[in-house]
Amino acid sequence: MRKRFVLCLDNKGYEASLIPRKIYEVIPDEQAEHDDFVRVIDESGEDYLYHKKHFVFVELPEEVVRVLVTT
């Protein structure tokens, strides 16, 4: 399964948890996506649900994905 990533556009209400312009790896969660949420590991190091309006999904080259996944 291909890794998916989002770019944070807006952290209003989540200033301590999300950083604008930062890329986050999406944790698969079908129910969350069905309800217009996305699960990511935020700045606390834990995975949480956020409304997808805070993000935009991005396609990254495989070379970049490898670097992001191994760090």
pLDDT in tens, 25-54: 999 999 999 999 999 999 999 999 999 999
Residue 30: predicted pLDDT = 94
Tell me which H or E stretch contains 62.
Answer: helix 62-70
Matching residue, tokens 């590991």: 41
Q: Which residue has the higher pLDDT, 69 or 39?
A: 39
Matching residue, tokens 């700045």: 43
Domain boundaries, the chain: 5-70
Residue 16: predicted pLDDT = 96
Read off the pLDDT of residues 6-29 as tens digits, 9 standing for 90 and up. 999 999 999 999 999 999 999 999
Question: C-alpha angle with apex 36: 32 to 37, nearest 5 degrees?
Answer: 50
- Considering the segment(s) 5-70 as one domain, its CATH architecture is Roll (2.30)
Distance between CA 26 and CA 9 in Å, rounded? 15
| Six token digits for residue 43 | 């700045």
Residue 2: predicted pLDDT = 81
